[in-house]
A and B are shown apart, each in its own frame.
Chain A
Amino acid sequence: MSTYVLSDCWTMTRRELAHWARQPVQVLVLLVFPVMLLLMFGYLIGGGRGVEGSYVDFLVPGMLALTMAFGLEGTMLAVTQDLNKGVIDRFRAMPMANGAVLVGRCAADMLQSAVGLAVLISVGHAIGWRTHGTPGAFLGAVGLLLLFRFAMLWIGIHLAMVAGKPEMVQAVQILVWPVGFLSNAFATPGSMPSWLGTAVEWNPMSQTATAVRDLFGGPGGEPGHVGAAVLWPLALVAVFFPLAVRRFARLSR
């Protein structure tokens, strides 16, 4: 039986890719949105309280982390929409591997995020962002960002199943934004009131952003955060992955 797990997961991944092929505009919108945010904060809002050095060098890694965090919404929306479709009944009445539907979602979202990162990094370069670390450190930073996205993904899948209906997702979305902005994406915690600064420092997204800034060799980076940027997401995955798979298996049974 288990020999089919990989093939089932691949089939479900292909399904998501086929959806993209039929809806190229939607895919484009998802890629363009973070670019717009980056340009908005880079040029319109500007600033960067407490930042020493180039603001762009501070901002771009923060935006990369923020984009990974906001991926949670996209995942949730896709999962709730999918679960309310009749086709899920057919999947569940077939002898396919348990959870392959979720793995397909996961693979597609990770791929989308990787492409999104590549686009943002290119645009960042175009507006003057420069890294000062080694190529190895650069790849390590990208890896940390994708690991963070992976954690957001399983949280998103789980929350989507808890929420159930797409309407409920909006309620969760309202929570995602403050968590995304209550981070060091745009400003250093030191420039904030102390209670806020503490919350911001504890935000897993801040850990990832700080570690990534360090690896890119830009302002706002501090050595010693890579460990937290690895452990936080792994801990989240360890909690939410089994919860999500179990919840899917018991869906309306």
Chain B
Amino acid sequence: MSTAGVVLRARKMSTVQAERGVTPPIDARDKVLGKAAYVDDVAVDGLQHAVVLRSPYARAKILGVSLDMEADWEGITVVTAADIPGENAVCIGESRDWPLLASKGVRHEGEAVVVLCAPTLRAARAALKRIEVRYEPLEPLLDPRKSEDNSVQIFGQDNVFARTTIERGGPRGSGRWIECEWQVGAQDPVPLETHGVIAKPEKDGSLTLFGTMSRPEWVQQTLREALKLSTVTVIQSVIGGGRSCRAEVPVQLAAHAALCAIRIGKPVKLQLSRTEQLRYTAKRHPLQVTLRTQVDEVGRLHRVEARLLLDGGAYATSSAQALETAILHALGPYHCDSVYVHGVVVATNRPPNAALAEFDIAAMHFCIERQMDQIANSRTLNPVAVRKVNVLRGGDSLHTGDVLRWAVGVEVVETAERLAKAPLVAVRRPGPAKSLPGQGVGLSLCCLQPQGGGAVSVELRGEKIRLLVPYVDAGEGHPTRFAVLVSRALKVPISSVVVRPMDTSRIQPSMASPPEIQLALGRVVQRLVKIVAQEVGSRSSDFARLLKKRTSTKRIRVEEPILPREGLSVAFHAAIVDLLVDPDTGEVTLRRIVTTSAGRRPVHARMSQIELEGAVGRAIGSALSEKLEVGPQGAWRVSGMGGIPKAGAMPELVTEFILAPDTLGPAEPEDGVGGAVLGAIAQAIEQATGAVMRAVPMHPEQVLKALP
């Protein structure tokens, strides 16, 4: 019942040439000229610099804070929890347990205790050393498997931030059981630009915040509740580092900068150092999954039982959302009528982790893809065949109860298989003669829960069309896609479409996703055409002609709500990885990765392709080179930025899109491809060497250890 057609082949070598003349990103010019203004690029008169004093302990009582009175405190402002006029809490959605500044005790290493600001960064850093915080260290809880024992109480009665169980269909009698445990360590979003905020008090008593904040409504809410500020404007700077998790931590930073700015009546900047960014900011929740599957002789799933444990860190922040994403993808792209899924996200004395959709989806897929491989092994079946037997088909329902009206899992695998047969364009770093070649396949499914909310507006100003959309871009390029959509719909040059960056004084923030925004933009543009047609008394729907006729210079503004569409929005991905493993050292050299993705027709195929390539790169980084270790007090000890692979580690990439009927609303093609890549890398290593990789990352150490 599924239909699919190949609309676009974007092969590595030909793409740039083939797509010459495609609209470049609207902000590309500023970026290649070095003119794009990131937080640290903005000059503000009288700017003060803030720094944060952080806890060295995972868990401790705070006995007191004192300043060295011998030191010169002229021009330096120190802020502690006692200076917060309202509720000492960062607002992350409904959650309120994360303090702006610790007061009685600290729950993780790196927790903010004091903020101070000074006229220069150097002076601020020097002053930090003149503050003494006295602690009484307490036994910390660092192992999430022990959280529910409750030996240390961190959150509520049982240290559980959220818990979900889904049960569908009863246990079945027949089939062989296979039980495995899988682990995916934390992942760091490693943005190239660290989080930063400037808080500027205005003459009218309001406050403007400028910086790398992707959730302006949380900033506003926090400042309303904690600082009792009624008028707060949040303006988005250009943000460095795609998919970089600018949600939670920047809210706290904004509050820190605001506390100082209000106190001294001057603009204050707070930008994290690279070390702070690496050690203390939110990572993707470390995940442990036990999967029990009952299968028949062809590997068909008769029952799936999954138990998920996520480490939320010291505060709830967005942990419930991370759990929801993991649960939603617990079966990956596969179908089974008899399911038991139980997930819990617990508290530990570690820096709080955050929901990071791209990685949350990928992590869960690694586990389910590995399970499929073990199912194939246990019955000596072909792993691709096992996937094809189980992959979701049109009319199947997910374990959440949603029914998929279309599904093209089989087609994406087959297309990927076809593409993977082509000879390698280049053999990257051929490696030692003894290298063992391996090939693996992975599948993934990306489900986007529609959120809706807020509105989009278009403004006609003379010839220019201005879009006001509730979206914060961090390099994913959605503003360009919005502009392309509008310019195409109106048949006007893209240069006459302007997309405003997020500014809460003009745009109401919303949780809506880019595809939902695109749908609303489609509608609002149609309304704009009608209004202009009416104004000039024409029946034409040719916007360019209408504009020519138009004599009035009056500004027209049309607003359209963003409606959540019914049902899920889904994209399928398949990845085929071709790699070499050095049997002496366990080093993995990737040769080629083929991905095929099925979803809606992309608005700007070239940008979707680059986004996909970026997502594949991030998956490679987390699979093979990321180095995250836990320090003695629970914070991360990260050496370098290994989560980003180097250019030389990238294989030949082949990406292809498959157009799927748009019956369930649009999906972002790039989300979720990482899961297929992670699974395929692990399977290819196993094919090459027989080593069963049970965890991410898969460094040479782990590969060598797993060799049979």
A binds B: no
Please list the residues of chain B having a beta carbon within 8 angstroms of any beta carbon in chain A.
Answer: none
